[in-house]
Structure 1
Amino acid sequence: MMISKEEKFKLILLGHSEAGVGLMTDLINESFGISQFDVVKNVDLPDCYFVPSLYDIHYFSDREYDFEANKPFMVQFGVQQSHIRFILFQHFNELGGISQEDYIPVRHRLSYVAPSASYQEGVLIEPQAVVSSFSRLGFGVSVKRSASVGHHASLGDFVSINPAAVLSGYVEVGEGSEIGSGAVISNNVKIGKRSLIGAGSVVTKDIPDGVIAYGNPCKVVKENSIWKDV
């Protein structure tokens, strides 16, 4: 994605966690050359550590930030978890009028995305990640380092594919679901909305909405209560 000279001046991160801010500042700097960031916090937590010689980072509360004055600048999420990204999108859409079109997709140069694959705004595709032919990634999807998304896969909004997970061909993952590190999803399997697949699981059958499932073979264990109040 091309961004204008004005947009290159800085980028806004919405929400913050140590992992999220640290990861996004490095990836955005490598991808776009941006070194100035505004981090807008929706909760009163300590500022995250950063290296002053690398980046110029300013922290703001969501109530004090001037969203209108900063409309020219693109945004991304400053957190990693699917349900938190969902909450933050709703919050900043209502508070600051931030829409999906304002979020920049971040694709690291050492990732591979097939020419026939597609992704929406706000995605994060980390180094060594693979997105195969005719796959579709929804808004705010995160494909972590060394994860592989197979051909003709469909990932709903806010899905997280964690490091080294492997999705085979024609896999469907519903909105807000997370696939744990090193999990393997077999061909044609459907993962429901807002479910969590545990790390290292081998999934050979469909998984319903709103559950935590893990194991080899992967089985439903309990309700995914983290989404209960969202």
Structure 2
Amino acid sequence: MQDRKTLNVLALYPERLNILLELANESCGFELFNVFKNMTGENTGLYVPNREYKVTFHNWYENKYSLDPKGCYALGVIGTRSKELVFNTFHKYAGAKKGQFNNLVHPTSYISNSARLDYGLQMGPLSSISVLTRVGFGVTIKRNCNIGHHCHIGNYATINPGVSISGFVTIGNNSLIGTGSIVKDGLKIGSNSIIGSGSNVVKDIPDNCVAYGNPCVVHRINE
């Protein structure tokens, strides 16, 4: 049986791995890390190791063994659709369950007691989630973000650094909000949409689109 100080990271985004390991260590005390490569394109040679962390890489796509049913897990990718694909793959073929994914919340961040969190949240330093906000599975909230009251953040959404989201905002599944963007009260950003960095969102944004600017407008629809 694995030690509870071990975190299993599913899939690999090399440039961000040290950030994830630091967050896991500071938030939950993890000291050992197993990284399960999900495909041949995940190149461990791009990873610049931090000597503080003991990391072991596994070629899961070659071995295809089941995961520890009592283990602790985190998603190692940050792309919204990548996160869903990785979870579905490991769930189907290796038995990973949502309840095994830890919420990794930096100790300098704040979450209201009335907020409702699913599993797999990764939340960086100096961010906050206000009252009565719901956060879905596999959400990434990076540093210096403010999520207002009564919001709903959908599954696998990614909120990049410095984003400010006002109250009663809905962010759809698999959507990404770019660095430094502002989202006005009561708006809805659809699923599978991308909001470009520095945008000022003042009206609803539909599903499956790329939008950016001040004010934020749709520039492309992804069929």
* TM-score between both structures, scaled by the size of structure 2: 0.94
The one of 143, 146, 160 equivalent to 2:144 is: 146
Cα deviation 1:154-204 (Å, max 9, x = unaligned): 001001111001100100000000000010000000000010001000011
Q: Which residue of 2 aligns with 1:40?
A: 36
Residue 14 of structure 1 pairs with residue 13 of structure 2? no
Alpha-carbon offset, residue 76 of structure 1: 0.2
On the 8 A contact 2:70/2:100 being kept in 1, the answer is no
**Does the Cα contact within 8 Å between 2:64 and 2:93 map onto a contact in 1?**
no
**1:77-156 matched pairs, under 5 angstroms:** 77-156=75-154
Offset, 1:144: 0.7
C-alpha distance in structure 1 between counterparts of 2:135 and 2:3, whole Å: 24
Unaligned runs of 5+ in 2: none
> Would you say 1:23 and 2:19 are equivalent positions?
yes
Q: Deviations over 1:114-149 (max 9, x none)?
A: 111111100111110110111110001111100110
Cα distance in 1 for residues equivalent to 2:23 and 2:79: 17
CA contact (8 A) 2:187 2:204 kept: yes
The 5 A counterparts of 1:175-186 are 175-186=173-184
The answer to whether the 8 A contact 1:19-1:79 is kept is no
Separation (CA, whole Å) in 2 of partners of 1:7 and 1:86:
27
CA RMSD of aligned residues (A): 1.5
Cα distance 1:41–1:205, how it changes in 2: closer, same or farther (>3 A)? same
**Equivalent residues, number:** 219
Q: Which residue of 2 aligns with 1:214?
A: 212
- C-alpha separation in 1, matches of 2:130 and 2:5: 33
Partner of 2:85: helix, strand, or coil?
helix
- 1:222 alignment partner, SS class: strand
CA distance in 2, matches of 1:58, 1:6: 14
Question: How far is 1:49 from its partner?
Answer: 2.2
* CA distance 1:40–1:6, shift in 2 (3 Å): closer
Aligned positions of 1:60-71 closer than 5 A: 60-63=58-61, 64=63, 66-68=65-67, 70-71=68-69
Partner amino acid, structure 2, of 1:220? V
